[in-house]
Amino acid sequence: MKEMMDDFNKAMLYFSKMNPEEFRKFNEFVSSVLRDGKLSLKTKELIAVGISVNSRCSYCIALHTEKAFKAGATEEEIMEAGTVAVLMGGGQSFTYMTELKKAIDRYKERT
């Protein structure tokens, strides 16, 4: 997982250099959505974890699992968000619970 996230970070750095305005605007949008509002940041990150599992995006799973922990989510809450995703996405989403478990193991002790 570390190698995957290192690759992701390198790609984002490259994209930010090649498309600085687009990268800045996307990050502004992300920042405006992922903050406390009517829903707490923790709730939004749990939603993002579920959508990541349902979308079968390993990078997204890792990123939002880390952010969910930082926002105060527990391992149990993160797994439950993943389970809701499986309800909506079926067997293909279920296979990505493996990626969610890897992300939990990586980030639960770091936050």
Confirm whether pTM is higher than 0.95. Answer: no
How does pLDDT run across 82-92, given as a tens digit for each residue? Answer: 999 999 999 99
Query: Would you tell me the crossing angle of helices 75-95 and 58-70 to the nearest 10 degrees?
Result: 170
Query: Would you tell me the crossing angle of helices 97-107 and 75-95 to the nearest 10 degrees?
Result: 150
pLDDT at 70 over 80: yes
CATH assignment, 2-107: 1.20.1290.10
Mean pLDDT over all residues of the chain? 96
pLDDT at 111 over 70: no
- CA-to-CA distance for 6 and 2, rounded, in angstroms? 6
- CA-to-CA distance for 75 and 101, rounded, in angstroms? 9
Q: Is 40 left (phi over 0), alpha (psi -120 to 50) or beta?
A: beta
* Domains of the chain by residue range: 2-107
